[in-house]
Amino acid sequence: MNTEWADADRLAALREGITAVDERDEIPVEAPATGEQIGAIPACTDEDVAAATERAREAQDDWAERPIEERVAVIDRFHDLLLDRREDVLDLVQVETGKSRRDAVEEVMDVAVTARHYANRAPKLLASERRSGAIPLATKAVVHRQPVGVVGLISPWNYPIVLTVSDALPALLAGNAVVCKPAEGTTHAALLARELLIEAGLPADLFQVVSGRGEALGEPLIGGVDFVGFTGSTAVGREVAALAGRNLVGSSLELGGKNPLLVLDDADPEAAAAGAVRASFANAGQLCISTERLYVHESVYDAFVDEFVAATRDRSLGAEIGFGADVGSLQSQAQLDKVRSHVEDAVEKGADVLAGGRARPDLGPYCFEPTVLAGVTPEMDVHDEETFGPVVALYEVGSVDEAVERANDSEYGLNASIWTGDDARGERVAERIDCGTVNVNEGYAAAWASIDAPMGGMNDSGLGRRHGDVGLTKYTESRTVATQRFAPIGPGPLPDKLWAAGLVPALRAWKRLSELRRRRPWTNLPGWRS
Ligand code: NAD
């Protein structure tokens, strides 16, 4: 491979960052572009997870004591270092995932945007906040925020930098330590990001990495941390939620999707097709928010399909390190098997392949062509199951109502996309879609990159949100301090009966006052909301 990451010593140096307190069995790591083994990570044990959590906890106290400006300064420096060292990062991401460099660039951009955003927002979000007290003027209520402590992050392989570091940044800014369990195949990418954070000034013990199989490490990890952020499949998400419930720690679960894209009757077929190609085949379809179902209005169906199929066939496929191919390799044999089985099952049951449909071992052991299917029916696996690969199904619909109904006919609810000539109409249709994010005239990036807004899934696509204010405050505990002055809450010197009798008219008057304030906001007392 034409990259310095082919050097075993460089990878071995990165692995020094893994918390393994003894010699461990090894799990091989391969480069999907060639199928070669590039190294091996230790299969950490319960003992390693306990050591990592303990070290993280010790480092966290001091970190949380530091003024927020100091924590922000570390993340600001990390932002700059990441951009300076982007070629190195892109190379390693390509080596471990096989993705195209263009898709790898999105990872660097996302982490930079996240670092900038939360560095700006953290001081405001973490500042103590005055709230309405129980009795106006007599009760002073102030909400303070403190870090939860140690945050466990369990992440998948498809965006190895984003899905470890972008979730870690707000946790660290909030004063937490992190114990990260990256996917087996992409542990080195997470370690490189950790190295940059340390170079930027993060205390090394504050960001622990344990490597190995999730089945073995999930339980000890979730048993030792104070919050778990999980990104991965819905099936594993349920197990993580159960463990978090048993240990009574908070969790956020970013899970799978079967994302619809709607082309309305007033859409420009060419623009919609170009957007749909990007939405369907970015990261070779191994993107939780990428499109797998297309509902196209009959009046534009033929024109759209012609453009979409032609544009799909135009995507170049390849697995080399560097810019070149539009679509990269799948990440593993398991991914290739899943994608191939969905296509074969659909074809056996009568689907038509309009583009692609074949593995391309001549380009890379796990390369699979961007594939467009028509005639997909409910008994085919690809109809409802997440493929998580470069395979989409086309459906013709007769109305917006039908498109919305079929888009919502899924157990998932992660991301959707609507194409229309009228933005306002698109926004109205968006309100009817049961997904955590809906993009109008864009596939997925508009909502994902609008980092000030929450992002996550409804239904089986998850619980909780990343991005937005909640993307940081979820890593905090709130403490409300309420101080009572002048008058007590309760009867005080009044006889109970008199107090109880007076309470009802007082509550009625208060409600009337609230209604007046709702209608005439200028009558509000400063800071009084309830
Ligand atoms: P996965 O659920 O198999 O693995 C994800 C992580 O969980 C890995 O680190 C794995 O080692 C670990 N894990 C496995 N079993 C575990 C267990 N019992 N306890 C604790 N951890 C365990 O998912 P994957 O195949 O790596 O990733 C693909 C899936 O992730 C797709 O479904 C995709 O849609 C989803 N995903 C969702 C988002 C999102 O933001 N919603 C983003 C990326 C990927």
Q: How many helices (H) and strands (E) does the chain have?
A: 18, 18
CA of 370 to the centre of ligand 1 (A): 23
Q: Which residues neighbour 438 within 8 Å (Cβ) at sequence distance 6 or greater?
A: 415, 416, 417, 418, 430, 447
- 52 to each of 49, 166, 403, how far by Cα in Å? 5, 20, 49
CA dihedral angle for residue 525, residue 526, residue 529, residue 530, rounded to 10 degrees: -40
Predicted model pTM? 0.95
Residue 354: φ, ψ to 5°: -90, -25
Number of other CB atoms surrounding residue 73 within 10 Å:
15
**Whole-number Å distance between alpha carbons of 291 and 259:** 5
**Whole-number Å distance between alpha carbons of 525 and 464:** 34
pLDDT value, residue 415:
98
Q: Which residues neighbour 335 within 8 Å (Cβ) at sequence distance 6 or greater?
A: 286, 366, 388, 389
CA of 231 to the centre of ligand 1 (A): 5
User: DSSP letter at 143?
Assistant: E
Q: Which residues are catalytic?
A: 254, 288
Ligand 1 pocket test, pick from 230, 233, 412 with the greatest ligand atom count within 8 Å of Cβ, gives: 233
Q: Which residues neighbour 267 within 8 Å (Cβ) at sequence distance 6 or greater?
A: 297, 300, 304, 419, 420, 421
**Structure-token match 């380009």, residue found:** 363
Residue 333: φ, ψ to 5°: -60, -40
For 259-450, the fitting CATH number among 3.40.309.10, 3.40.50.720, 3.40.50.300, 1.10.10.370 is 3.40.309.10
- Tell me which residue has its CA closest to atom 42 in ligand 1: 288
pLDDT value, residue 492:
87
Q: Tell me the Cα Rg of the chain.
A: 26
**Whole-number Å distance between alpha carbons of 353 and 220:** 46
CA of 266 to the centre of ligand 1 (A): 38
Ligand 1 lining (C-beta closer than 6 Å) = 154-158, 163, 181, 183-184, 213-215, 218, 231-233, 236, 239-240, 254-257, 288, 386, 388, 414, 457, 462
Q: Is the dihedral of CA 457, 461, 464, 466 positive or negative?
A: negative
- 314 to each of 219, 296, 317, 363, how far by Cα in Å? 46, 21, 9, 16
H/E element, 93: helix 86-97
- Tell me which residue has its CA closest to atom 9 in ligand 1: 183
Answer yes or no: are the C-beta atoms of 95 and 5 closer than 8 Å. Answer: yes
CATH 3.40.605.10 fits 43-255+470-477, yes or no: yes
Per 3-state DSSP, what percentage of the chain is helix, strand, and coil (rounded to 5)? 50, 20, 35
Answer yes or no: are the C-beta atoms of 152 and 229 closer than 8 Å. Answer: yes
- 366 sits in the region (left: phi over 0; alpha: psi -120 to 50; else beta) called alpha
**Whole-number Å distance between alpha carbons of 447 and 417:** 10
Burial of 473 (0-12, 13-18, 19+ CB in 10 A): middle
pLDDT along the chain (530 residues), means of 10: 81 96 95 95 98 98 97 98 96 97 96 98 97 91 98 98 96 98 97 98 98 98 98 98 98 98 98 98 98 98 98 96 95 98 98 98 97 98 98 98 98 98 98 98 97 98 98 98 91 91 93 87 71
